[in-house]
């Protein structure tokens, strides 16, 4: 056998080992994810008495599916210390105005204000939040996205957790609900890919991740980091708020409860654009973490390992993935056939691969360019 043949055999063996090694690494990661999800499902954090009044900030742009049910859930909160809800509308003709007026009529005793929040910030949501925060009356700020639906004990839990152990910010995991097949697949990805990654990071080290599903913080801490104006040039404003609060020496805590968000009835094209925006945002916000995601795509690497001549390893990888997905779905409270995770994983691997490069994202119908540090450079 000649030297050229030996070189080709060596290269072939080395290339075949890549999916095998990544499958093994993925199994280790998903074993951690399984444990992290079990821990989250069982834990009950110590919560202080939530005796401070709260200003809830909700910037609004358009009527998301289930919008009225989402905002109505905030009018049913159990919080004896009192709270107000501030809605921000950047467009005076926004169709959501009618739903807000309906809410005001249904709950006349609850302080509900609507403020015009037209602004020129690259991140219009952060610009709206800066206006709302300036008008807020109370010492605790809770901000969440307009389509978030919460249980009655929501404020008692997140504010109570905020008042414990030098906590500076409380955030929540979320599960999605949807009416189209594509959007339901996105809900599955949130539960079995996104949530486990957060729980593993929290289990292994202190985390400063924060999500638009909930940002609960003291108004004084928000002011200390420069308010929402400090993050109005970033797409991932929630991530930046969490990082800056952590920079004050405060803890960023993940609440025990899970809130809900509507993923609507989008098409596969809509879901692709949304997921690509999300994955590119992660890449510019946390490049190391983004590259680390390569080992989480266990379904993809298991299939490649099987094709490369490691069928037992491939089967083990697929079984590990099924167990971690089941634990994640139980922890988050999502009910859907667990075998569908294999299809969602392949879609997610394709999104991740496309997110490695490129700087263009689409957000609520407008295209933007992301810089390497996560700034929104310009709209296209």
pLDDT tens, position by position, 27-37: 999 999 999 99
Sheet with 376-379: strands ordered across: 360-363, 366-370, 376-379
pLDDT of residue 206: 66
Mapped onto helix, strand or coil, the DSSP state of residue 301 is helix
pLDDT of residue 363: 66
Q: Would the pLDDT of 380 be above 80? A: no
The model's pTM: 0.89
Mean pLDDT of 130-142: 96
Q: Decide the pairing of beta strands 54-60 and 366-370.
A: unpaired
Q: Decide the pairing of beta strands 83-89 and 54-60.
A: parallel
Q: Would the pLDDT of 1 be above 50? A: no
CB 158 within 8 A of CB 70: no
If you search the block for the tokens 């095998």, which residue do you land on? 20
d(CA 373, CA 26): 28
Instruction: Spell 335-345 as b/e; 16+ CB within 10 A means b.
Output: eeebeebbebb
Q: Top-level CATH class of 54-266?
A: alpha beta
pLDDT tens, position by position, 72-89: 999 999 999 999 999 999
């Amino acid at each position: 056998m000649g030297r050229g043949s030996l070189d080709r055999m060596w290269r072939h063996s080395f290339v075949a080992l890549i999916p095998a090694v990544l499958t093994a690494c993925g199994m280790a990661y998903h074993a951690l994810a399984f444990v992290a999800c079990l821990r989250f499902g069982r834990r009950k954090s110590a919560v202080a008495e939530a005796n401070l009044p709260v200003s809830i900030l909700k910037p609004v742009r358009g009527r998301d599916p289930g919008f009225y049910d989402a905002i109505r859930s905030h009018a049913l909160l159990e919080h004896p210390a009192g709270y107000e809800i501030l809605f921000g509308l950047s467009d005076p003709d926004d169709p959501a105005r009618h739903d807000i007026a309906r809410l005001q009529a249904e709950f006349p005793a609850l302080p509900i204000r609507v403020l015009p929040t037209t602004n020129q910030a690259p991140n219009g949501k952060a610009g709206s939040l800066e206006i709302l925060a300036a008008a807020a009356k109370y010492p605790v700020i809770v901000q969440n996205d307009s389509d978030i639906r919460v249980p009655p004990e929501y404020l008692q839990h997140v504010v109570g957790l905020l008042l414990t152990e030098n906590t500076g910010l409380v955030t929540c995991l979320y599960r999605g609900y949807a009416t189209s097949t594509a959007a339901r697949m996105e809900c599955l990805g949130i539960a079995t890919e996104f949530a486990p990654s957060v729980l593993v990071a929290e289990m292994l080290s202190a985390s400063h991740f924060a999500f638009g599903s909930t940002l609960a913080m003291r108004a004084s801490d928000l002011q200390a980091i420069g308010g929402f104006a400090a993050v109005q040039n970033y797409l991932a404003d929630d991530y930046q708020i969490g990082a800056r609060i952590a920079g004050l020496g405060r803890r960023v805590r993940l609440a025990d409860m899970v809130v809900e968000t509507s993923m609507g009835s989008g098409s596969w094209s809509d879901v692709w654009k949304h997921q690509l925006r999300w994955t590119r945002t992660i890449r510019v916000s946390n490049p190391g973490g983004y590259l680390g995601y390569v080992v989480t795509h266990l379904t993809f690497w298991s299939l490649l390992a099987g094709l490369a001549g490691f069928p037992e390893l491939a089967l083990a990888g697929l079984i590990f993935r099924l167990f971690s997905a089941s634990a994640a779905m139980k922890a988050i409270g999502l009910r859907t056939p667990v075998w569908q995770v294999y299809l969602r994983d392949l879609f997610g691997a394709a999104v991740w691969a496309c997110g490695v490069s490129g700087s263009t994202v689409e957000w609520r119908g407008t295209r933007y360019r992301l810089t390497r540090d996560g700034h929104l450079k310009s709209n296209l």
